[in-house]
Amino acid sequence: MKQIKHFIGLELKAGLKRRMALIMLIFTLFAILLPVGTAVPEDSENNLTISKDGFFDGIITYLKNLYPGAERELQTSETISKAAIEDVQQSADSGRVVLKIATPSVVKSASLIGDSNLGIFAHLSNPPLMKMDSEGRLVGQLAESYNVSENNTCWTFYLKDDLYWSDGEKVTPQDVEFSIRYYGKKTPWAGWINETLESSTISEADNSVTFKFNKPYTRVNMEFVTYNILPAHIWETIENPMEYLNNGPYVGCGPYYLKMIDLNAGKLIFEKNPYWKGKVSEFENVEVHLYSNVDVATLALKNGDVDTYYKYAGSYPYSGIEQLEKTGDFDFLEKTDIGLVFLSPNLKKAPFSDPGFREALTYAINYEEIARLETLGYGEVPNRGFVPPAMENFKETEKLEYSPEKAIETLEKAGYSDSNGNGVLEGKDRKDIKLEILIRSEYARTGELLEEYFERIGLSVDLKTVDADTWVTLKDSYDYDLTVTRSTPGVCLCTQVGEAAILIPDGQARE
Amino acid sequence: MLEIAKKVTRYFASFMLITAINFTLPRLMPGDPVKNLIGEDAYVSEKVTEELRAELGLNMSLSEQFTSYLSSLLHLDLGYSYHLHAPVAEVLLNKMGWTLLFVGISVVIGSFLGVFLGALAGWKPERKASRFTSFAFVVISCIPPYFLALLTLYIFAFKLGLFPSKGFYDTPEIGSVLYHLFLPTCVMSVFSASRNFLVMRGSVIQEKEQLYALYARAKGLHDTGILFRHIVKNASLPIITLLALDFGFLLSGALFIEIVFSLNGMGLLIYDAIMGKDYPLLQGAFLVIAFTALLTNMLADLLYALIDPRARRPA
């Protein structure tokens, strides 16, 4: 007892001690749970039924508070309105035809402009001016047509005249002008607009908007494939769009508008735009289901929980195709992926600054093996040239060839030989060539294959596998000899990495 | 009282050290948060990049950033998330709530189940049931969590169609939440139970050989009485340590479970913050986890002293 006194200054019986231990355990649990449970004002409305009192009342209150409540002042913008939820429940009950899309491109924040994945899905509700059609051509989306001045500084977009916002307002050239200028001023990734846009003019007569840039710009039509058009009458009051969080609904002008974002349920819900005058879809709602795991997304598709699968500029996982085929429930359509994977040499330093060396290395790569191993046979040996077959302006050139003998012969002709007989070719400075290949972790296997191919022709390779961020840092400081990376049609990456590139087999998308 | 004051001082010093490490660690990671924020797909001029850097306060020297961080902390401001476009405290509060819900329940269930079954298995290890449960829990503890979660999901959600495959709910109702969290909670409970089971079993095997157990038997106490009134009390000391560690784990979430079940919780939040170099979010998340871990360890110390007289004896 003396010792107990020493600890807490009280005499405790054994039973009391046990009870205290239990109370401490329970207290610990509730001390952790309490802050969240008390975070919402008591008078908050809720979407969950709350009983008057008792232990379960506490649990219910806790669950209620987890749900982004309407009254939490800080989270007002994240609120999912009760009406929206009831609407969605009614839609589900009424048996409306719903298209469910599974995607591994998870939306992390309910910021239409700040979240890149949400921006991609919002093409459905807030379509950009332009789009890429199924043949890879750039065509108008909200724009009926467009033209560009001879010196590539003036771009005029003529809008379709049957476009309406989901609140009944007509889509005007002012909306387009506002959206483009808004992006330029308010977002870092569109800062180029703010820096280069000299003026913009609107013509009500021909429903057009003209952008005049202070320097020639040849790919504005491509850039405007990604900028969602916003209703000026809604967004002009929002000072900081990057930080504007809203779980919907958002006013849209596409065939659908974004009705609700519910990240805890892992879904986005689009509903038909009642003022849409274009081709009418048979689906009343489109639901985008967000899966953090590709395997689960493919299982959901196979199981019929969702109707289709989408990944931006990427293919359905090759390993899952056979399983889908076995179900007999799917029709398959193969199209070449518009995303491209390529090898990019560092032209700023030897030996890749030498065209002869680069030419030799094109023969060293076993493209068929890469296609077999990386894309499970769904890829094909690429052509010379950077533009992939799925895109406009693709030129049919000769296929890249795998021939280690030719590679060695070309290297010899270009002046690379193993004069000291140690098995490693020497550069023009007479030192052994050691290529530093910079690989992002997702291309680790490709990197290992390249290492094997290059060593086969007498080159020593140092494979450096890094995370995406480190890759960007090293790439920007030109701290590599060769790198493997991926690009999508709208990216300027190739100009940053280097002017020369060797495509490597990328797969084909199956829908 | 002096002992308690010493402990509190020690924990406070630990907390201050952790605060400094929290600030330093994210900045030691390779990569630039500004470039990450802009994305590699966009080309922006150096001017815009520098403006953004200044806006985020990353143009200041490290010492200035640290001073600013401490000053914000003293004002109970955890900062603003670069990628989630919301105050860190608000983001953490929301995610913590969900994570606590399923991980907290799992830890509690796993503790009781592990302690109870572990005690029984350790008391009579030669019985068939004991050998079977031991084998089962050893197997479970050896399976990677990701695999077991995926297997469970495949069987119960996709093959049998009994449970949903993703999210905290379909519609925000209690029934839906419980239905969605049942499977991840079960998987985590089994994992937690397997760890506690193995510790408890070993501990009981050791304790039952002690003289006090023999004395209790000599007094005529029946098996259940000896096990649950005397042995479990002494054998549960390592479990308290394990529980204290689990509470730290509780807030960091269960990344693999969250990935498999597409749960928008703390684990994924921290993972995304690391990948996105979201310094304020990382600092905030680590700080909350560290604080909870310290708090629970402090409580474990107190519990030890309450349960075990040896811990109370002066050195």
How far apart, in whole angstroms, are the C-alpha atoms of residue A277 and residue A254? 9
Distance from CA of A495 to the nearest CA of B (A): 10
Q: What are the tens digits of pLDDT across the range A229-277? A: 999 999 999 999 988 999 989 999 999 999 999 999 999 999 999 999 9
* A296 contacts chain B (CB < 8 A): yes
Secondary structure of A189-204 as H, E, C letters: HHHHHHHHEEEEEEEC
* pLDDT of A83: 55
**Tokens standing for residue B299:** 């409580």
Secondary structure of A393-445 as H, E, C letters: CCCCCCECCCCHHHHHHHHHHCCCECCCCCCCCECCCCCECEEEEEEEHHHHH
**Tokens standing for residue B297:** 């360890």
Angle at CA of residue A487, ends A481 and A490, nearest 5°: 130
Secondary structure of chain B as H, E, C letters: CHHHHHHHHHHHHHHHHHHHHHHHHHHHCCCCHHHHHHCCCCCCCHHHHHHHHHHCCCCCCHHHHHHHHHHHHHCCCCCECCCCCCEHHHHHHHHHHHHHHHHHHHHHHHHHHHHHHHHHHHHCCCCHHHHHHHHHHHHHHHCCHHHHHHHHHHHHHHHCCCCCCCCCCCCCCHHHHHHHHHHHHHHHHHHHHHHHHHHHHHHHHHHCCCHHHHHHHHCCCCHHHHHHHHHHHHHCHHHHHHHHHHHHHHHHCCHHHHHHCCCCCHHHHHHHHHHCCCHHHHHHHHHHHHHHHHHHHHHHHHHHHHHCHHHHCCC
Name the helix (H) or strand (E) containing A486: strand A482-487
Cβ contact B303–A24 (<8 Å): yes
How far apart, in whole angstroms, are the C-alpha atoms of residue A400 and residue A415? 23
* pLDDT of A61: 55
* pLDDT of A65: 52
How far apart, in whole angstroms, are the C-alpha atoms of residue A373 and residue A363? 18
Q: How confident is the model at residue A42 (pLDDT cuts 50, 70, 90)?
A: very low
ipTM exceeding cut-off 0.90 for this assembly = no
Chain B: residue whose CA lies nearest to A78: B86
* φ, ψ dihedrals at B116, nearest 5°: -65, -55
Which residue in the set A39, A109, A302 is minimally distant from B93, CB to CB?
A39
Chain A: residue whose CA lies nearest to B313: A3
A30: buried, middle or exposed (CB in 10 Å: 19+, 13-18, 0-12)? exposed
Cβ contact B85–A242 (<8 Å): yes
How far apart, in whole angstroms, are the C-alpha atoms of residue A270 and residue A120? 13
How far apart, in whole angstroms, are the C-alpha atoms of residue B223 and residue B123? 9
Assign A288 to helix, strand or coil: strand
Q: How far is CA B90 from the centre of its chain?
A: 20
Characterise B220 by phi-psi region: left (phi > 0), alpha (psi -120 to 50), beta (else). Answer: left
Contact A75, A69 (CB under 8 A): yes
Q: How far is CA B226 from the centre of its chain?
A: 33
**Tokens standing for residue A155:** 């771009």
Provide the sign of the torsion angle of the four alpha carbons B299, B303, B306, B309, taken in this order. negative
Assign A350 to helix, strand or coil: coil
Which residue in the set A24, A263, A291 is minimally distant from B302, CB to CB?
A24
Residues from chain A that touch B243, judged by Cβ atoms under 8 A, are 25
Give, for all 315 residues of chain B, the pLDDT tens digit.
677 788 788 888 888 898 899 899 888 887 788 877 777 666 677 777 888 888 888 888 888 999 888 888 888 889 899 888 889 999 999 888 888 888 888 988 999 999 999 999 999 998 999 999 999 999 999 998 889 999 999 999 999 999 999 999 998 889 999 999 999 999 999 988 998 999 999 999 999 888 888 888 888 888 888 888 888 888 888 888 877 777 766 666 578 889 999 998 888 899 889 888 899 999 999 898 888 888 888 888 888 777 777 766 665
Residues 6+ away with beta carbon under 8 Å from B202? B122
* pLDDT of A265: 94
DSSP state of A314: -
Distance from CA of B209 to the nearest CA of A (A): 23
* pLDDT of B313: 67
- The interaxial angle of helices B237-252 and B105-123, nearest 10 deg, is 150
Provide the sign of the torsion angle of the four alpha carbons B199, B203, B204, B205, taken in this order. positive
**Tokens standing for residue A70:** 């309407």
Beta bridge partners, A143, equal A159
Contact A459, A425 (CB under 8 A): yes
Beta bridge partners, A197, equal A213
- Other beta carbons within 10 angstroms of residue A450's beta carbon come to 25
* A220 contacts chain B (CB < 8 A): no
Contact A505, A372 (CB under 8 A): no
Name the helix (H) or strand (E) containing A92: helix A82-93
* pLDDT of A95: 59
How far apart, in whole angstroms, are the C-alpha atoms of residue A105 and residue A116? 10
* pLDDT of B140: 92
**Tokens standing for residue A286:** 């489109």
**Tokens standing for residue A313:** 């500029």
Residues from chain A that touch B272, judged by Cβ atoms under 8 A, are 108
Pick the range with the lowest mean pLDDT from A182-186, A327-331, B131-135. A327-331
Bigger pLDDT: B164 vs A388: B164
> Global pTM?
0.80
Name the helix (H) or strand (E) containing A30: helix A14-37
Provide the sign of the torsion angle of the four alpha carbons A290, A291, A296, A298, taken in this order. positive
Assign A369 to helix, strand or coil: helix
Which residue in the set B96, B172, B292 is minimally distant from A48, CB to CB?
B172
Q: What are the tens digits of pLDDT across the range A286-316? A: 999 999 999 899 999 999 999 999 988 778 8
Residues 6+ away with beta carbon under 8 Å from A377? A318, A371
Assign A268 to helix, strand or coil: strand
Bigger pLDDT: A341 vs A211: A211
Residues from chain A that touch B44, judged by Cβ atoms under 8 A, are 188-189, 191-192
Cβ contact B31–A25 (<8 Å): no
Nearest to B269 by CA among B290, B278, A113: B278
* A303 contacts chain B (CB < 8 A): yes
- The amino acid occupying position A454 is F
- Other beta carbons within 10 angstroms of residue B146's beta carbon come to 15
How far apart, in whole angstroms, are the C-alpha atoms of residue A305 and residue B161? 10
* Chain B interface mutation, best of A264, A267, A269, highest count of B Cβ atoms under 10 Å: A264
